[in-house]
């Protein structure tokens, strides 16, 4: 237990004190000092039931975390100034008094991992900013929201048995993120993605796990469909029907980020092109995916892992030069092919090019391979751009072998203002390197790279793919200025 106070003392009156207390009670974890709080903890630890007497109007924080024998939360209506109430990891807690749902000043309500909790009281908490229900694996229904609660921004109901959301859920008018990333029971897609939910004014991110029942929401009376403001959608191990992408294009036209983990996904239909604001797409663990019949027009970041490298998607669709001509894309997917439109090739423990005045706008295609005679390849590989012996930026964290990394430098240059620190009218050496933990080299790793010059953006006189300082340009540039690659210094 901790208390803080402030006092004002008047020299003219030795008894003129004014006290203001902020009382904080916490029973989380055992106190080893064997003082007052130690005895208090030991008694609470042994409790199976308890009551709170009125008169605690000054208490603002009350925590009963990890009290293993507490079975219910009693009447807290007398705690009128309470701002935080937490009873997470109370494994035997099964009931909560209805007064918990009507504390006007409560900002944080934490009930995480209360395994025996099956229901929650209705909520009318106008000040609530954070509600934690994740890990309540027997909780079957979401509490009714009895009035507008506009301060809560995020809600995570992962690890619960909640499959539907009540109509009153819409009273969480300030909610921006809704997540249910894991759970034992499949979500009801028709409830989770009904118009009352997806058109909530501030809701921008939604994440769903094990969801069934995707259906088209009905049109409103005017015959028009009001697109939601949701910008990020994650669907993991959900039962996606053929209508899934039609639902996306019809109701989620503003989405910018889409993540799908689904082994049953085979073809992404042409209608995905109608997602005209989509910038990021991740299709991981889609082991049966063969191809995409359309590409969203603004797609810049694409990631696919766990799909066969010999599919049309990896061999053709994602390698189309038209996708990358703007120089803003960053794609990663299984593969071992550098397309023919990459005119310049290089391979080695690192790959380099030289430039003057400013970094050229190039498109790079990289393949990472690991020699069979080496030890197991480290998993935490990172691709860096080194300029004149100094590491400037990281392209990719968590790089893996036998994948294609295809990306343009234009966006990276603009975002990091890389041209500001360069020597003008002099040749600069740019090197792409792959390092492991603590910037250590990776023995046995080979980088094969291809370069495509966006000619409309560059002067070819200021770009070289062989060392301009050598007498013969046919000389391997990796054998020149080798000292600059021996010890890389972070910027």
Question: Taking 60 as the threshold, does the pLDDT of residue 12 lie above it?
Answer: no
Burial 40-58 (b: 16+ CB within 10 A, else e): ebeebeeeeeeebeeebee
Q: Give, in order, the Cα–Cα distances in Å from 18 to each of 15, 58, 60, 82, 324.
A: 9, 15, 19, 22, 69
Question: Is the per-residue pLDDT at 107 higher than 80?
Answer: yes
3-class DSSP assignment, residue 374: coil
For residues 456 and 381, is the Cβ–Cβ distance under 8 A?
no
DSSP 41: H
- Contact assessment for residue 119 and residue 141, using Cβ atoms and an 8 Å cutoff: yes
Q: What is the mean pLDDT of the chain?
A: 80
Percent of residues in the chain assigned helix, strand, coil, to nearest 5? 15, 30, 55
CB-based burial label for 139 (10 Å; 0-12, 13-18, 19+): buried
The C-alpha atoms of residue 154 and residue 147 are separated, in whole angstroms, by 18
Please give the share of the chain, as a percent, with pLDDT higher than 90.
Answer: 39
Residue 285 pLDDT class (50, 70, 90 cuts): confident
Question: If you search the block for the tokens 């630890």, which residue do you land on?
Answer: 45
Give the three-class secondary structure for 65. Answer: coil
14 — pLDDT class (breaks 50, 70, 90): very low
Hey, what domains does the chain have and what are their CATH numbers? 1-156 (3.80.10), 344-490 (no CATH)
> Can you tell me the mean pLDDT for 86-106?
94
Q: What is the mean pLDDT of residues 186-192?
A: 66
Query: 236 falls in which pLDDT band (50, 70, 90)?
Result: confident
Per-residue pLDDT tens digits for 366-375: 998 877 555 5
Rounded CA separation 471/315 (Å): 39
Cα torsion 360, 363, 365, 366 to 10°: value is: 40
Structure tokens at 99: 């007064």
Structure-block tokens of residue 460: 């070819």
Position 481 confidence tier, pLDDT thresholds 50, 70, 90? very low
Distance, in Å, from the CA atom of 51 to the CA atom of 475, rounded to the nearest integer, reads 84
Q: Which residues, in sequence order, are CB contacts of 200 under 8 Å at separation 6+? A: 170, 172, 173, 175, 228
Least confident residue range of 125-139, 247-261, 462-476 = 462-476
* pLDDT for res 417: 80
Tokens read off for 490: 């972070």
* pLDDT band (50, 70, 90) for residue 189: low
Residues near 417 by beta carbon (within 8 Å), at least 6 away in sequence: none
Q: What percent of the chain stands above pLDDT 70?
A: 76
For the cut 50, the answer to whether the pLDDT of residue 57 exceeds it is: yes
Instruction: Enumerate the H helices of 343-456 as residue ranges.
Output: 410-416
Q: What is the pLDDT of residues 141-187, one digit of tens each?
A: 999 999 999 999 999 998 898 888 899 999 999 999 998 876 666 66
Q: Is the pLDDT of residue 1 over 60?
A: no
Residue 189, classed as helix, strand or coil, is helix
Arithmetic mean of pLDDT, 277-293 = 92
Q: What is the pLDDT of residues 442-460, one digit of tens each?
A: 888 889 999 999 877 667 8
d(CA 128, CA 150): 8
Q: Residue 21: beta bridge partners? A: 5
């Amino acid at each position: 237990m901790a208390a803080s106070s402030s006092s004002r003392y008047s020299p003219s009156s030795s008894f003129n004190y004014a006290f203001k207390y902020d009382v904080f009670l916490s029973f989380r974890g055992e106190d080893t000092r064997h003082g007052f709080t130690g005895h208090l903890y030991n008694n609470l630890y042994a409790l199976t039931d308890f009551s709170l007497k009125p008169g605690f109007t000054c208490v603002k924080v009350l925590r009963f975390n990890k009290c293993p024998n507490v079975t219910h939360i009693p009447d807290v209506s007398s705690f009128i100034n309470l701002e935080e109430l937490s009873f997470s990891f109370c494994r035997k807690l099964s009931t909560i008094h209805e007064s918990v749902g009507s504390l006007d000043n409560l900002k944080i309500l934490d009930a995480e991992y209360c395994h025996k909790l099956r229901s929650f009281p209705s909520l009318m908490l106008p000040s609530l900013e954070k509600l934690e229900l994740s890990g309540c694996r027997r909780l079957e229904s979401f509490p009714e929201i009895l009035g507008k609660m506009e301060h809560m921004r995020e809600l995570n109901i992962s690890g619960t048995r909640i499959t539907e959301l009540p109509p009153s859920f819409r009273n969480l008018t300030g909610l921006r993120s809704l997540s249910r990333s894991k759970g034992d029971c499949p979500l009801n897609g028709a409830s989770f993605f009904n118009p009352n939910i997806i058109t909530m004014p501030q809701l921008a991110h939604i994440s769903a796990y094990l969801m069934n029942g995707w259906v088209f929401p009905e049109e409103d009376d005017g015959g028009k469909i009001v697109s939601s403001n949701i910008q990020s959608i994650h669907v993991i191990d959900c039962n996606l029907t053929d209508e899934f992408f039609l639902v996306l294009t019809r109701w989620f036209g503003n989405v910018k980020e889409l993540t799908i983990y689904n082994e049953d996904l085979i073809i992404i239909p042409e209608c995905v092109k109608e997602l005209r604001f989509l910038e990021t797409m991740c299709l991981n663990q889609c082991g049966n995916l063969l191809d995409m019949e359309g590409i969203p027009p603004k797609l810049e970041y694409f990631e696919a892992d766990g799909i066969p490298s010999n599919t049309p998607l990896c061999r053709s669709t994602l390698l189309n030069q038209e996708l990358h001509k703007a120089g803003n894309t960053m794609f990663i997917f299984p593969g071992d092919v550098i397309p023919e439109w990459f005119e310049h090739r290089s391979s080695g423990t690192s790959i380099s090019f030289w430039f003057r005045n400013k970094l050229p706008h190039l498109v790079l295609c990289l393949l990472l391979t690991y020699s069979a005679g080496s030890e197991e390849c480290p998993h935490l590989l990172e691709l860096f751009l080194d300029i004149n012996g100094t590491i400037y930026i990281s392209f990719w964290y968590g790089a893996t072998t036998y994948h294609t990394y295809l990306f343009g430098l234009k966006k990276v240059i603009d975002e990091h203002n890389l041209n500001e620190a360069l020597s003008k009218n002099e040749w600069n050496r740019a090197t792409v390197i792959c390092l492991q933990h603590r910037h250590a080299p990776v023995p046995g790793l080979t980088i094969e790279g291809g370069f495509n010059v966006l000619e409309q953006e560059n002067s070819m006189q200021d770009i070289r793919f062989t060392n301009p300082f050598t007498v013969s340009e046919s000389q391997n540039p990796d054998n020149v200025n080798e000292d600059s690659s021996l010890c890389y210094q972070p910027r």
